[in-house]
Amino acid sequence: MQSNVPFNGCTDAGRLFREVRERGFGGTVQTVRRYVATLRDGTAIPVPAPIPSTRAITSWIMRRRESLSEEDEVRLSEVCLACPDIARAREIAQGFTTLVRDRTGHLLPDWISDVERDAPQPIRGFARFMKFDIDAVTAGLTLPYSSGVVEGHVNHIKRRSNGRCTAEPRSTS
């Protein structure tokens, strides 16, 4: 007898029970029968996709769109649909990373105005904080100079003074 079941595979609850029990299922055959009945009548609740980690979402937001895999783009779109604040945070972060990557610090006041208008509160606080020294931040987003080498030396000195570094400093020549 052919059933109008909208899925492929085994629909025998007894057989399914034996298979899932071998894989560690601790429930009863009756539980499996009830679930198979929901599959047959179309009332089964679909299993939700696992929630991505904060780290994964942040990584997706901060990367360029063209560098995301198709799967990551789909997952990020799902997250943005579920949480509009994340969607807005993505737009804001993309705008700020464009300022950094393209060294367009002269556009910072426009970015701050946009953020103050309708961004989530933590991002608005970040934007307000930058206004305290807007000239320095603008210069940092515009000029090609970097204090990275100095910061590296400072961190090396800190590690040595805390006894975490035993190697001699590397030569810069």
3 state SS for 102-130: HCCHHHHHHHHHHHHHHCCHHHHHHHHHH
Residues 161 and 105 reside in one and the same domain: yes
Total domains in the fold of the chain: 3
Q: Are residues 1 and 25 located together in one domain of the fold? A: yes
**Residues 104, 96 contacting (CB under 8 angstroms):** no
Do residues 132 and 107 both lie within one domain?
Answer: yes
At 159, is the pLDDT very low, low, confident or very high (cuts 50, 70, 90)? confident
Contact 47, 7 (CB under 8 A): no
> Is residue 173 in a domain?
no
Assess if residue 37 is contained within a domain.
yes
Burial group, residue 65, by CB count within 10 angstroms (0-12, 13-18, 19+) = exposed
- Are residues 76 and 95 located together in one domain of the fold? no
- Dihedral angle at the C-alpha atoms of 54, 60, 63, 65, nearest 10 degrees? -160
User: Is the pLDDT higher at 6 or at 134?
Assistant: 134
Supply 62's token pair.
């901060």
**Whether residue 101 sits in one domain with residue 70:** no
Q: What's residue 3's pLDDT?
A: 44
Q: Which domain holds residue 3?
A: 1-47
Mark which of 35, 59, 82 sits at the end of a domain.
82
Using DSSP's 3-state secondary structure scheme, residue 142 falls into: coil
Q: What pLDDT was estimated at residue 93? A: 92
Q: What confidence category does residue 72 fall into, taking pLDDT thresholds of 50, 70 and 90? A: very high
Q: What is the pLDDT of residues 23-68, one digit of tens each?
A: 999 999 999 999 888 888 888 888 777 889 999 999 999 898 899 9
pTM: 0.58
For 84-125, the pLDDT digits (tens) are 889 999 999 999 999 999 999 999 999 999 999 988 888 999
Residue linked to tokens 């899925």: 7
112 within 8 A of 130, measured Cβ to Cβ: yes
Say if 171 falls within a structural domain. Answer: no
Cα gap 42→5, rounded to integer Å: 8
Same domain, 161 and 90: yes
